[in-house]
Homo-oligomer: A and B are copies of this chain.
Amino acid sequence: MPTIDTREKILKSSLRLFSQKGYIGATTREIARDACVAEVTLFRCFESKERLFEEVLNRYSFVPELEIIIKEIKQMPYEEAMYYFAIRFYDGLKSRKDIIRIIQTEVYRYPDKIANLYHSMIDSIIMTLANYFSEMQQAGILRFFDVKHAARGLMGLVFSVFNMQELLLRSKYRDDVEIDIIKSLVNIFVRGTLR
């Protein structure tokens, strides 16, 4: 049985290279070299390239952190809560850049494995966020609108900023501070949802 340390090194290199070159584009030879192990060691740790890929996906999930964030915002005033959520969500995306990129580029080719992971990531957040909006509507703070759609919208706003700023390495808007962009958009969202 291979060492846990060896497995970790390989998983880490796999994350980076799958992210940069895609599943097909990243070769086992390259992953092994990057992890400073022999290629044969890779195949002693993981029975195939496909299994290795699956383990990478399971290893670096995103959901738990977001659940915590939504619990935290319940004690805050609405506008502050929205800023806080958006920024924490954005930071979460940033620190998970590699896995997000993998999901985004491979979701069509490995529908079962990746799509499930993707959906589990988003669905649980949308439902929790939608419940939050519902409570705020009941409390008379927010006007009535479709809460699930709004949850998706808010996440879509943040994600679109992340998508442009972090994944696409745009030159043009680099001078804008990302936080300012998010604040602008959250401000529109807040004004659009308040009673």
Chain A residues within 8 Å of B, Cβ to Cβ: 20-22, 24-25, 101, 104-109, 111, 115, 118-119, 122-123, 145-146, 148-150, 152-153, 155-157, 159-161, 163-164, 167-170, 172-173, 176, 180-181, 184-185, 187-193
| A172 nearest in chain B by CB position | B123
Per the bound structure, the CA–CA distance linking A169 and B181 in Å amounts to 30
Per the bound structure, the CA–CA distance linking A168 and B115 in Å amounts to 7
Number of chain copies forming the complex: 2
Specify which of A149, A163, A176, A191 lies most central, judged by the most chain B CB atoms within 10 Å of its CB: A149
Task: Evaluate contact between B21 and A145: CB separation under 8 angstroms.
Answer: no
Task: Evaluate contact between B193 and A20: CB separation under 8 angstroms.
Answer: no
Q: Output the least CB separation between A66 and chain B (Å).
A: 16
* The one of B106, B118, B157, B176 that contacts A156, using a Cβ cutoff of 8 Å: B157
